[in-house]
Amino acid sequence: MVTFTARRSEPALLLPARPTPRETKALSDLDDQRTLRYYETVVGFFRRRGGDVRAPADPAKAIRAVLAEALVYYYPVAGRLREERDEAAAGGGTGRLVVDCTAEGVVFVEADADVRLEEFGQPLLPPYPCVGELLCDAGDTRAVVGKPLLLMQVTRLKCGGFVLGFHICHNIADGFGMAQLIMAIADLARGAPAPTILPVWRRDLLTARCLDVPVTRTPSSSSSVVTSPAHEPALHGGGAAARPRPAADAMRSTPPDRMVVEYFLFGPREVSTLRGQLPAHLAESTTAFELLTAVMWQCRTAALGYGPDQLVRLMITMNARGRWNAHTPLPLGYYGNAHVSPVAEAAAGDLLARPLADTVELVRRTKRGMTREGMSAMVETVARLREWPPSTMDRVYEVSDIKWTAVNVLRFGWAELAGGGIPLAGDLTSKLGSDHMRCKNAAGEVSTVVSMLLPRVAMARFKKEMAVWLNKDDDKSLTIMSSL
């Protein structure tokens, strides 16, 4: 695997290209979750389109110029977060975050690497070699107050391509919002007079005072779909005090140096093998995301060795802008956090004993059963839980489908996206779940790569479980391996 050291410029503060409003903007209750107080990390690899007369001689300088222009529209991103203490709350409160639109700027770094795009791997799949060289230093990625909200590095490659790597504060934008910002940069880089989609703030739309609906729960035989976060058992009936203290979750007690991350590649053949283990009617109607999520949840539960009576939970992060949410439409251009996280739960023994079809059905009900009432309940619950996450975050497996970010999103015109996604870099605690990312396998087929972070011993068991499901004799053939 290729190794290299990037030659970086000194970090510079990049200001909006023109004067912007000086004001303070409130965040939504979804934005202001304490679990989002970190910088998300993204890398994108771009191939220069040969013969395009519009291609700039220096992609880093071109992107720097259009980023300054994009910040005129996305001017809160050039500001700073401030925490307002809530003296009325018990103990002084944890404080709400607000954005001071000060136009202090974002961090921008230019870099060069003596490596060609094809040296990152064919096909281009995570783990990406020397990914830390493609990102500028964000410092403590869990400290977000008073710091630049975006830190971007553009690394020029020997082949004329480039890598765009950035850290962005998750309180400001979700995955869709991050992609929308990069789309705006790409629009301006193509010579458009303004972003195709203009940003909309409207964070008031996702605050509890606008969504006054009680928390609900829908039982389903021995398992359930929970429409509020998994972090508050008192909201689901039977307070935490009535339950015995559970054994420590290995995912939260294992130190980082004893964890490993691996990436599992699912091409058409692997997905077909898994579909073959479902009844025909379910195989035809189930999406690949639902199918892979069900299999990996079962394998992960087995690998972590939970007791048969311990509740395990699956949290599915969903974009509230989707077609399913026609009952609560968000305006085009909304770039704040608009994700909801319905939760399925089951006893570990029951989950492992049931046929795959039952787990797939539970995943489908969880994902497809989100309602306005459920979404409202989640926002209201988040607003009340200022100290997320309490200890009941144990045994939660979170999954996110971010395959859509690679389709019709990042088009610079003179450069095309060759691959990328969320690497194992930056904040580790945010990587406890799995991201489903779009890629191509060695045969050039559109495929899905799924990240998985586990203790070393559990990872070995996980791979053996996956090998059984995929009828593989060698579990090493399942993964693209990386270790922390």
- For the record, the structure tokens of 11 come out as 């970090």
Give me the pLDDT at residue 257, please: 83
Looking at the structure, do residues 186 and 219 belong to the same domain, yes or no?
no
**CA nearest neighbour of 204 among 331, 364, 356:** 331
Q: How many CB atoms lie within 10 A of CB 265?
A: 20
Q: Cβ(171)–Cβ(27) under 8 Å?
A: yes
188, 205, 222 — which closes off a domain?
205
Looking at the structure, do residues 285 and 389 belong to the same domain, yes or no?
yes
CA dihedral 174, 175, 178, 184 (to 10 degrees): -120
**CA nearest neighbour of 24 among 84, 87, 94, 66:** 84
Looking at the structure, do residues 253 and 201 belong to the same domain, yes or no?
no
Looking at the structure, do residues 297 and 213 belong to the same domain, yes or no?
yes
211 vs 463: CA distance, rounded Å: 43
Is 416 a domain residue?
A: no
Give me the pLDDT at residue 92, please: 47
Is 309 a domain residue?
A: yes
Give me the pLDDT at residue 404, please: 72
Give me the pLDDT at residue 371, please: 67
205, 229, 251 — which closes off a domain?
205
Looking at the structure, do residues 169 and 226 belong to the same domain, yes or no?
no
| Strand intervals (E) in 240-348 | 259-266, 311-319, 339-340, 343-347
Is 391 a domain residue?
A: yes
- pLDDT beneath 70: ranges in the chain: 51-53, 86-94, 209-247, 322-328, 371-372, 374-375, 378, 381-393, 405-411, 425-431, 473-484
Is 143 a domain residue?
A: yes
Looking at the structure, do residues 112 and 248 belong to the same domain, yes or no?
no
**CA nearest neighbour of 129 among 114, 119, 142, 139:** 119
Catalytic residue of the set 170, 231, 339, 436: 170
Is 409 a domain residue?
A: no
Looking at the structure, do residues 233 and 194 belong to the same domain, yes or no?
no
Give me the pLDDT at residue 228, please: 43
| 436 classed as catalytic | no
Which residues, in sequence order, are bridge partners of residue 44?
164, 420
29 vs 32: CA distance, rounded Å: 5
DSSP symbol at 465: H
- For the record, the structure tokens of 288 come out as 């690949």
What is the model's pTM?
A: 0.86
CATH number at residue 476: 3.30.559.10
Is 433 a domain residue?
A: yes
Angle at 72 between CA 421 and CA 74, to 5 degrees: 40
Looking at the structure, do residues 290 and 367 belong to the same domain, yes or no?
yes
Is 63 a domain residue?
A: yes
Largest separation between any pair of C-alpha atoms in the chain: 70
Looking at the structure, do residues 84 and 229 belong to the same domain, yes or no?
no
251 vs 458: CA distance, rounded Å: 10
Q: From residue 421, how far is each of 293, 431, 453, 481 by CA, in Å?
A: 18, 13, 16, 16
Count CA atoms closer than 13 A to 80's CA, side-chain side. 15
Angle at 74 between CA 69 and CA 75, to 5 degrees: 90
Residue 239, domain extent: 207-404+426-483
132 vs 378: CA distance, rounded Å: 35
Looking at the structure, do residues 149 and 110 belong to the same domain, yes or no?
yes
Give me the pLDDT at residue 213, please: 44
Give me the pLDDT at residue 57, please: 87
181, 205, 229 — which closes off a domain?
205
What is the helix (H) or strand (E) element at residue 436, kind and residue range?
strand 434-440
Looking at the structure, do residues 304 and 453 belong to the same domain, yes or no?
yes
Is 415 a domain residue?
A: no
What is the helix (H) or strand (E) element at residue 9, kind and residue range?
none
How many domains, in total, are found in the chain?
Answer: 2
pLDDT tens for residues 416-444? Answer: 888 888 887 655 666 678 999 998 899 99
Looking at the structure, do residues 457 and 444 belong to the same domain, yes or no?
yes
DSSP symbol at 200: B
